[in-house]
Amino acid sequence: MTGTAAAPVVVGVDGSAGSLMAVQYAVAEAERLETGVRLVHVAPDYTPTTPMLPLIRDDFEQLGRRILREAAEIVTEAAPSCEVSTVLRAGPTVSTLLSAADGAHLIVLGREHRSRVEAVFTGSTTVGAAGRASCPVVSVPPAWMPGQPRGRVVVGVRSPAHSTELLGSAFAAAEARGARLVVLHAWKLPGAYDDIVEARLHANDHAGAVEAEIDPQLDLFRRHHPGVEVELSVVHEQPVRALLRVAAGADLLVILRRAHGLPLTAHVGGTARTLLHEAACPVEVVPPQEVLAEMEGLVLEEAGAAQK
């Protein structure tokens, strides 16, 4: 079928169980957004040529078309009225996928633990796409099942000053699902540094200051999304551990891709990498609308803990 005029939901498919589960997630999102699904398969851009392995380009093309055909059948079965298009390309996986996803509302990738030889849309592909895409990217874990709403969306807020795009996406996701929104800010410095902070500033005082900074933003979004119940939680805990704990059993975890001064240096940090690999629920990485340089000092991130 031809592509829909509205921005589609794009899914990277490779025939694995993980990518087929991503198709199911994409169909549900497309129905909520009233748009279509674009299925993309990226074949290798090289062909082994040895006497013991007589593969030809036609073999790759036939396999790619079969993978796309099976994925399209899943879309049609799940949502007969959903418009679906397919794209088969060859090249470097991440850049080719992002090129084929031009104009997308959302990119969905399945997560599956596989060997390096077998992996196509997993591991570094998901991280690479999330770090470079101009639209949100969702990583769907293999245990996720469609049609089982949990009624809760979690958003991890690291810096209240840079959270406008993040909160907008999170409120929209919660409203579309009829879910409660949990806004989580977690902080903890490593070792002795955290002890110093605790000695001079009690954790409760820090929580109050963060809540006072976030609340005005939440009030603005509450007015635009009056049906969304919001819970703000500020915890003194390593961010990765806090997010994994709170997002367990959630419909979706929404996080912001950090920007580091220049467009070419925008990337997925250590916290996001861990969440993309380990979270039990789908994880949506929202790109910043513009790159913001943090001029107050160099901020380093290690295992979800901020260091200066």
For the stretch 264-304, pLDDT in tens is 445 678 889 899 989 999 999 999 874 343 323 333 333 34
Q: Are residues 23 and 132 in the same domain?
A: yes
End-to-end CA distance of the chain: 52
The boundaries of the domain holding residue 196 are 152-307
Sign for the pseudo-dihedral over CA of 24, 25, 30, 32: positive
Q: What does the angle CA 277 – CA 248 – CA 166 come to, to the nearest 5 degrees?
A: 70
Q: Are strands 106-110 and 283-286 parallel, antiparallel or unpaired?
A: unpaired
| Token pair recorded at residue 78 | 């799940």
Q: Are residues 87 and 205 in the same domain?
A: no
DSSP classification of residue 297? S
Q: pLDDT for 200-230, tens place per residue?
A: 556 667 778 888 889 999 999 999 999 999 9
Q: Are residues 130 and 172 in the same domain?
A: no
- 247 inside domain: yes
pTM attached to this predicted model: 0.83
- 197 inside domain: yes
CATH of residue 289:
3.40.50.620
What is the identity of the amino acid at 132? R
Spatial separation of the C-alpha atoms in residues 186 and 188, rounded to whole Å: 7
Residues 6 or more apart whose CB falls under 8 angstroms from that of 143 comprise 280
